[in-house]
A and B are shown apart, each in its own frame.
Chain A
């Protein structure tokens, strides 16, 4: 009996204190801990209080994005010489998780700018391109976006039907891109278009296009279920002319650039999903302490305890996968399988945890007075964008089979 009582006291204290257990933090290097705490402080003080209103108004948090830019969070991996923070990918994942814990929309705005826009330019851009397309996008004054998906193909990225033809000293782009995050607030985009249709996916190239630009127009802002403070719309290219120097990487390299970019991008989304899951868990655990039923706080009921345990387990497991993938990337080791596992685990954790959080809150989970319903709506997209859960499973399976190659 004494052991059971002690165990329950321990769970009560661990869950109810709302305080990070030292052992979690002890795994991270000191500077990463300080950085994480800084982002957490910012998110809790500046993002969490306005997140519900931003969601209601579908409003881009311009002021906060600028503040995050000043902190270096909009360009975590970019070297200081180009205006970034010069930190590693693990630091970036920690930042996105803590920011998303405050506001999931802000988390994706930060993630898209870092991983999907700055990422490929940093890796494949010329020195000139880096100065022109990276430095102004590190301060939060300008954000970028990534245009790969089309109305006709999402997962089937190789079937890009947007075309690019060379006319003299210009590229002329024609086609439509769909589901582009940040596009209504962006000042530039990385666009993927086919330069050689006969080469299939090896005939796709990447281009840098400023926004606004003649020949580039935006579709209507999508009215989404969640992450409503970030804009999502089509990008329509009609004889959009850009200088030859705006090609990113070599001709035909586009598919490779896209896939490598998404490999890293999916860790950013994993981090965002972790933030959403953690926020939902915070909400449910806090409620379990305060709400009384049957004469005691509902946290005393096994049904609720088992839910909280499963929620915490799902979140922590996904977190460790995410950290591991980030550390592999920082050590320049292959990380494709681990990144896919992290994104899959984290996004499924986010949907699971936010679903259970509403269950713990009961009726209160269904109304906008509590953030649980927003976490539920925000979580859903994480299983879809930057590689659906189905694609992640294919990536993992391919890697596993390769390991066992006969």
Chain B
């Protein structure tokens, strides 16, 4: 048991920004747009740091895949209490097509390399809403997974995870090494303290290329078109229930 936890942090467009589709419909506008750490990744970092403060784990390593700018996201994780960072350099076209499958291959390779006991990720990213990376990473490593976690309790090498599912809450017990994905109610991420921001300056961020990890980041998916959601149309008011039934039949809904 190395006591090492890997936390994935993704740099996404800030949740408060109004998204605009590029005029050529190949994607959304990212230039000059405010970016920040994916909110679910913040929750993941917070959980890892809390485990370290309880002395249940020894080291928190923050990982991010992307171009130079993701270093800022890693630095924010360090300011929240992570011990060191790993920047997996992916840029240009590769970055545009980077998706859960490639990222989970990278995380799996890093988990083996770093001999991690636990990987904590956000349940999904707010830009693509894929909700796949955690599950794929666990599958590639053949590790158990506790997804949509709203409560995590670690006891030696056993993890109790309370999961938020459609029907309510499900409690499972899994053995380390494992993958956990954080849901909204897992915790409330702390504000980085100024002393920790200062300390973050001295913490190391290692640079690594996907090729070094034996991972091919080419994508099997091709984005054909990106469009805004259709404008909401005005509704129609009807006088009686019969009118309503008539209109629904007209529209072919019943």
CA distance A31 to B75 in the complex (A): 8
Partner of A35, one of B16, B18, B34, B197: B197
Per-residue B-contact encoding for A1-25, CB less than 8 Å = 1, 0 else: 0000000000000000111111000
Per-residue A-contact encoding for B8-20, CB less than 8 Å = 1, 0 else: 0000001011100
Known: A19-B33, A22-B32, A37-B36. A31 touches B192 (CB 8 A): no
Give residues 66-114 of B contacting A (CB, 8 Å): 71-72, 75-76, 79
Q: CB-nearest residue of chain B relative to A38? A: B192
Q: Which residues of A contact B33 (CB under 8 A)?
A: 17, 19
Partner of B192, one of A17, A30, A34, A67: A34
Partner of B194, one of A30, A41, A85: A85
CA distance A30 to B198 in the complex (A): 11
Per-residue B-contact encoding for A26-51, CB less than 8 Å = 1, 0 else: 00001101110110011000000000
- For residue A384, CB closer than 8 A to chain B, the reply is no
- For residue B120, CB closer than 8 A to chain A, the reply is no
Contact present for A35 and B32 (CB under 8 Å): no
- For residue B200, CB closer than 8 A to chain A, the reply is yes
- For residue A211, CB closer than 8 A to chain B, the reply is no
- For residue B171, CB closer than 8 A to chain A, the reply is no
Q: CB-nearest residue of chain A relative to B197? A: A35
Q: Which residues of A contact B197 (CB under 8 A)?
A: 31, 34-35, 38, 87
Measured CB to CB, the closest approach of chain A to B40, in angstroms, equals: 16
Measured CB to CB, the closest approach of chain A to B251, in angstroms, equals: 33
Stretch with Cβ within 8 A of B (4 or more), from A68-76, A225-233, A239-247, A387-395: A68-76
Partner of A34, one of B14, B17, B34, B72: B72
Q: Which residues of B contact A73 (CB under 8 A)?
A: 194
Interface size, chain B (Cβ < 8 Å): 22
- For residue A288, CB closer than 8 A to chain B, the reply is no
- Which of B14, B17, B76, B197 is most buried by chain A, counting CB atoms within 10 A of its CB? B197
- For residue B195, CB closer than 8 A to chain A, the reply is yes
Contact present for B193 and A87 (CB under 8 Å): no
Q: Which residues of B contact A34 (CB under 8 A)?
A: 72, 75-76, 79, 192, 197, 200
CA distance A55 to B194 in the complex (A): 27
Contact present for B17 and A33 (CB under 8 Å): no
CA distance A12 to B222 in the complex (A): 33
- For residue A158, CB closer than 8 A to chain B, the reply is no
Partner of A38, one of B16, B32, B191: B191
- Which of B34, B75, B79, B194 is most buried by chain A, counting CB atoms within 10 A of its CB? B194
Contact present for B201 and A31 (CB under 8 Å): yes
Q: Which residues of A contact B72 (CB under 8 A)?
A: 30, 33-34
Measured CB to CB, the closest approach of chain A to B79, in angstroms, equals: 6
Measured CB to CB, the closest approach of chain A to B171, in angstroms, equals: 31
Q: Which residues of A contact B194 (CB under 8 A)?
A: 35, 38, 71-73, 76, 85-87, 91, 95
Q: Which residues of B contact A35 (CB under 8 A)?
A: 192, 194, 197
Partner of B198, one of A20, A67, A70, A85: A85
Q: Which residues of A contact B75 (CB under 8 A)?
A: 30-31, 34
Q: CB-nearest residue of chain B relative to A73? A: B194
Per-residue B-contact encoding for A47-66, CB less than 8 Å = 1, 0 else: 00000000000000000000
Q: CB-nearest residue of chain B relative to A91? A: B194
Measured CB to CB, the closest approach of chain A to B178, in angstroms, equals: 31
Give residues 155-203 of B contacting A (CB, 8 Å): 191-195, 197-198, 200-201
Contact present for A31 and B195 (CB under 8 Å): no
Q: CB-nearest residue of chain B relative to A87? A: B194
Q: CB-nearest residue of chain B relative to A86? A: B198
Measured CB to CB, the closest approach of chain B to A101, in angstroms, equals: 15
Q: Which residues of B contact A71 (CB under 8 A)?
A: 191-194
Measured CB to CB, the closest approach of chain B to A34, in angstroms, equals: 6
CA distance A70 to B192 in the complex (A): 10
CA distance A42 to B188 in the complex (A): 13
Q: CB-nearest residue of chain A relative to B78? A: A34
Measured CB to CB, the closest approach of chain A to B13, in angstroms, equals: 10
Q: Which residues of B contact A95 (CB under 8 A)?
A: 194
CA distance A42 to B34 in the complex (A): 17
- For residue A330, CB closer than 8 A to chain B, the reply is no
Q: CB-nearest residue of chain B relative to A22? A: B32
Contact present for A87 and B198 (CB under 8 Å): yes
Measured CB to CB, the closest approach of chain A to B41, in angstroms, equals: 15
Contact present for A42 and B191 (CB under 8 Å): yes
CA distance A269 to B193 in the complex (A): 23
CA distance A41 to B14 in the complex (A): 12
The 16 listed contacts between A and B (C-beta, < 8 Å) are: A17-B17, A19-B17, A19-B33, A19-B34, A20-B34, A21-B32, A22-B32, A30-B75, A38-B192, A41-B191, A71-B194, A72-B194, A72-B195, A73-B194, A86-B198, A87-B194
The 6 closest A-B pairs by CB, nearest first: A85-B194, A72-B194, A19-B34, A71-B193, A72-B193, A38-B192
Q: 12 extra interchain contacts, Cβ-Cβ under 8 A, other than A34-B192, A85-B194?
A: A17-B33, A20-B34, A34-B75, A35-B192, A35-B194, A35-B197, A37-B36, A38-B192, A70-B193, A85-B195, A86-B198, A91-B194
